[in-house]
Amino acid sequence: MSSRTIGYARVSTSHQDVESQVAALNEAGCDLVFSEVVSTRKKEKDRPQLQAALSCLIEGDELVCHSLSRVGRTQVEVINRLHDLQENKVHVRTLDGLISTRALGKMAPILVGLLTGLNEVERELIRERTLESIEHRRKNGQSIGGRPRTSKQREQLVLDLREQGDSYRQIRDMTSMGYHTIRRIIIDRETAA
């Protein structure tokens, strides 16, 4: 069986025109073109035309898209997709000229490996920077995220109002605090006593 060229076109909103991508893919010699209008925020499983395009690819086929951003939401997704396609001996080409694994020949696995390696290094650097930032914030007494703790004065106000016989709802209305916060303060005091 001869190899096929499968196209995939995607735009994020209905205000964009997917037809221009479809026309460009047809002009580039695609035998079959899948297209959809779907937000980049949608997960891969919620992108049926991408799933259809990927599922019909077999060894020796070529996936063509306008740019690499069409086949993944993030850099990690795109690189992983390139790696998976390369493992299945499926070629990838973009119309913007960034990549053509068929044209790269034996160099294609090296390029995909390099991109995968760079991606792993980037993930590790992000993780290190995040940990450094958390450590710096801890040392300087800064918040490391989450909701700020309720002040002792506000906690005492809640406890005083409850001792006066006010209901949780009345306390909420007087303090503008959330029900769960009020309840936590009262339960914490009861368990400590």
- Catalytic residues, which ones? 12
Please list, in sequence order, all residues whose beta carbon lies within 8 angstroms of the beta carbon of residue 85, skipping any fewer than 6 positions away. Answer: 57, 63, 91, 92, 101
- Are 18 and 36 in contact by the 8 Å Cβ rule? The answer is yes
Residues in contact with 88: Cβ distance below 8 Å, sequence separation at least 6, in sequence order: 57, 59
Q: What share of the chain is helix, strand, coil (3-state, %, to 5)?
A: 60, 10, 30
- If we measure between CA atoms, which residue out of 133, 110, 129, 109 comes closest to residue 121? 129
In which residue are the tokens 């409850």 written?
Answer: 162
E strands present in 76-172:
91-94
Tell the residue number behind the tokens 């395009």, with chain if given.
53
Question: Which H or E run includes 116?
Answer: helix 108-139
